Amino acid sequence: MSNSVVRSVKERDRTFANILLNTAIANVTTSFLWFALTFWMYLETRNVIATGVIGGGYMLIIAMASIGFGTIVDRFRKLIVMRVSALFTLVMFLLAGLAYVAMPDSTDVSLTSPWLWVFAILVLVGAVIENMRSVALSTTVTILVDADRRDKANGWVGTVQGLSFMVTSVFSGLAVGFLGMGPTVVISIVFVAVGYVHLLFLTMPEEEHVVASDAAGAYDLRGSLRAVHAVPGLFALIIFSTFNNFVGGVHMALFDPYGLELFSVQMWGVVFAISATGFMVGGALIGRFGLGANPMRTMLIAVMITGVIGAAISFRASPVLCIIAAWFFMATMPAVEAAEQTVIQRVVPLQQQGRVFGFAGAFEAAAAPVTAFLIAPIAEAVVIPWAEGDGAAALAPLLGTGPGRGIALVFLIAGAITVLAAAIAFATPVYRSVSAEYASTTDDAAEETGDPAHV
C-alpha cells in the first residue's frame, strides 16, 4: 500500500505522542470510574458478590468482545475507531449519570435495586468499549512508527498503562470517600468529553484510506484464526503469553488478601500506587533502550525474572520486601507485553493485526480470572490450613511464621512454575521459529504485506 502523504519521522512521532496522550486520558478516566464503582458498590452493599459479579463480568465481556474489536479495527480507519469508541463511552457514562440520579435513594442502595444494576452495567459497558482503543493503538504503532523503533514505542504504551493504574488505585478511593459517587461520575464524564474533542482535532494522513482487509462481518473468528496460523509459532507465542496470565491469576486472587495481612487497608492502596510507578519506569526504560535484537528472548527472560520476584514476595512476612518485590515485578511486566506486541507488529500484515491483537486479548483476558476462580478455593480449603497448621514448622525456615504463610506458599509454587516454563520455552522449536521469523522480516517485506512506507 502506498501513501498519498508521507511525513517525516518527527511529524509522525508528534501524532503518535498526541494519540498516546489521548489514550492516557481515556485509560485514566475509565479506570477511575470503574475502580470507583467497585469501591462504592462494596461500601453501599457490604457484599462481595456485587464486586465479584461486576469484576468477573468485566473480564468475561472483554474476552468475548476482543475478537469483535479486532475485526472492527481491521475494517475501519484506526482514528475513526478511536473516535467512535470515545463517543460510545461518553454516551454510556452520561446514561450512567442519569441512572445514578434516578436512584430513589442513592445513599441506601442494595443488591435488589434495579437502578443499582442499570448504573453498574452502563459503567461496565462504557469501560469495556474503551478497550477497543487499545487494539487500535497497537496497530497505530505499526502505521506511525518505523519497524526498528516499535519496541520503544510499545514501551511508552506500557508507561501509559502504569500511569493509569497508579492514578486510579489512589484517586478512585479518594474521590468516592471525599466527594461521593455523583461528583465522581461527573468528573469522569468531563474528562471523557475532553478526550473525545481532542481526538476530533487529530489527523493521521498515513491512513487516508483503510488498508484493504479480508475481515468479514463484525466478529471474524475464522479470519482471526487464519491470520494467527499464517505465521509459524505465533499461536504458541499467544498461548505462552496466556500461560503467563494464568500464573498472574494467582496474584489476582491472593495478592490483596496477602497484602492486607501486612498493611492496613489505607496503606495497601498506597502500596499499589508505589508499585505502579515500577510499571511506568519499566515502560520508560523500554522506550529509551528498546527490547534488543530478539524480543522473544527478552520476553522469556522477563518472564523468568517475574517468576523469581513472585516467589521472593513469599519470603518472610516482610512489608518492606513486599513493597520492593511488587515494584520490581511491575517494572518487569512491560517487557513481556511490549515484546508480544512488537513481534506481532513485525510478522503480521497490517490488514490482519487488529484481529490478531483481538484474538490474543481474548485469550489473555480470560486466563487470569480462570486461574483466580480455581486457585482461591484450593488455597482456602487446602493450602492455607496446612501451611498454618501441620506444615507451619516445615515452612518456617523459608517462609517465616504468621498469617499469610499459606498464601506465601502458593506464591512460591507459582513462581517456580513460571521460571521452569520459561526455561523450557527456550528449548522449543516454537521459540526458534518465531525468533527466525522476526529476524527475517525486513521493512521491505512488511511494506509488501501492507505496512505503510516510511521515510
Share of the chain above pLDDT 70, in %: 82
Q: Which of 32-36, 145-149, 172-176 has the lowest mean pLDDT?
A: 172-176
* 83-92, 396-405, 439-448 — most confident range: 83-92
Please report which confidence band the pLDDT of residue 89 belongs to, taking 50, 70 and 90 as the band edges. Answer: very high
The string of DSSP letters for 345-373 reads HHHS-HHHHHHHHHHHHHHHHHHHHHHHH
Q: Which three cell numbers stand for residue 454?
A: 516510511
Q: How far apart are CA 427 and CA 429, in angstroms?
A: 7
For the residues 280-287, what does the mean pLDDT come to? 86
Neighbours of 73 (CB within 10 A): 30
Residue 156 or residue 455, greater confidence:
156
What mean pLDDT, rounded, does the chain reach? 80
Q: Which three cell numbers stand for residue 322?
A: 513486599
pLDDT of residue 2: 41
Return the closest-CA partner of residue 421 out of 285, 307, 254.
307
Q: Which three cell numbers stand for residue 447?
A: 511494506
For the residues 147-160, what does the mean pLDDT come to? 84
pLDDT of residue 7: 79
437, with CB counted inside 10 A (0-12, 13-18, 19+), is middle
Please report which confidence band the pLDDT of residue 445 belongs to, taking 50, 70 and 90 as the band edges. Answer: very low
- Interval 191-228: pLDDT, tens: 999 999 999 999 888 777 766 666 666 777 777 788 88
Q: Which of 61-70, 223-232, 345-354, 421-430 has the lowest mean pLDDT?
A: 223-232
> Does 283 score more than 90 pLDDT?
no
Return the closest-CA partner of residue 336 out of 162, 144, 155, 156.
155
pLDDT of residue 123: 92
For the residues 90-113, what does the mean pLDDT come to? 80
> Does 1 score more than 50 pLDDT?
no
**Ranges of each domain in the chain:** 9-448
> Does 88 score more than 50 pLDDT?
yes
Please report which confidence band the pLDDT of residue 269 belongs to, taking 50, 70 and 90 as the band edges. Answer: low
Spell 314-348 as b/e; 16+ CB within 10 A means b. bbbbeeeebbbbbbbbbbbbbbbbbbbbbbbbbbb
For CA atoms 376, 268, 324, 172, give the dihedral sign: positive
pLDDT of residue 231: 75
Residue 300 or residue 108, greater confidence:
300
> Does 35 score more than 70 pLDDT?
yes
pLDDT of residue 246: 65
DSSP secondary structure letter of residue 380: I
Name the CATH superfamily for 9-448. MFS general substrate transporter like domains (1.20.1250.20)
> Does 8 score more than 60 pLDDT?
yes
Return the closest-CA partner of residue 116 out of 50, 31, 47, 185.
50
> Does 4 score more than 60 pLDDT?
no
> Does 117 score more than 70 pLDDT?
yes
pLDDT of residue 85: 93
Neighbours of 180 (CB within 10 A): 14
8 A C-beta contact, residue 170 and residue 33: no
Q: How far apart are CA 258 and CA 399, in angstroms?
A: 13
pLDDT of residue 385: 80
- Interval 338-361: pLDDT, tens: 888 888 888 888 888 888 888 887
Residue 54 or residue 274, greater confidence:
274
Task: Quote the pTM value.
Answer: 0.73
> Does 373 score more than 70 pLDDT?
no
pLDDT of residue 266: 63
Residue 95 or residue 396, greater confidence:
95
For the residues 229-244, what does the mean pLDDT come to? 74
